[in-house]
Structures are given as C-alpha cells and as structure tokens.
C-alpha cells in the first residue's frame, strides 16, 4: 500500500450540500480499497488561470493509503463527475 495525496477542484457555483455529497462519494471509493487518513477542505479560492470558464473553485485534498489500482478508478470517477473541473493525484514518499 502506497501513500497518496489527491487534490480536486470543484466548480465554485455548486451548492454546499452537493459538495458534501461529492466528498462523501470520493471518500467511499477510497475506503473501499484503501484507507483515508485525512480530508482537508481548503474552501473557495481564486484559480491561477481560467479552467472551463471558471475563475473560482472549491479545493479539497484527500490524504490516503491504497493500492495503485485504486488510483485509476478514483480518477475515472473524477473525470465523469461534471462538478469536478480539475484534479491531480500524487504518490508520496
């Protein structure tokens, strides 16, 4: 099991209830095959550059341990979720 850090940016126009739902959805995916250590909600911030016509985004960071196979499934879910405008997952040493 490797340690990972995954940052997602959710469209800032999404309601707070929907954001909580998305965080729970991704938490469940991580916990199915891995172990979530911490979630850091950084809140609404201005983007460095416009992404999909958005100037602001809601940042969420997941810290977890999992097998490498989980990453492809997690990122597939990020891609098909319309509210997620950007994401990155990195392996930590």
Per-residue pLDDT tens for 35-68?
Answer: 999 999 999 999 999 998 999 999 999 999 999 9
pLDDT at 93: 81
Say how far apart CA 10 and CA 85 lie, in whole Å.
6
pLDDT at 60: 97
Encode pLDDT of 1-36 as tens digits: 899 999 999 999 999 999 999 999 999 999 998 999
List domains and CATH numbers for the chain: 2-92 (3.30.70.60)
Helix crossing, 68-80 with 16-33: angle to 10°? 160
């Amino acid at each position: 099991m490797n340690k990972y850090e995954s940052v997602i940016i959710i469209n800032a126009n999404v309601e707070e209830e929907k954001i909580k739902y998305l965080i729970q959805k991704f938490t469940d995916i991580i916990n199915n095959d891995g172990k979530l250590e911490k979630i850091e909600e950084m809140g609404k911030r201005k983007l460095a550059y416009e992404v999909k016509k958005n100037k602001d985004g809601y940042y969420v960071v997941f810290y977890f341990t999992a097998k490498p196979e989980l990453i492809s499934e997690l990122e597939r879910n990020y891609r098909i979720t319309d509210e997620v405008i950007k994401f990155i997952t990195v392996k930590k040493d």
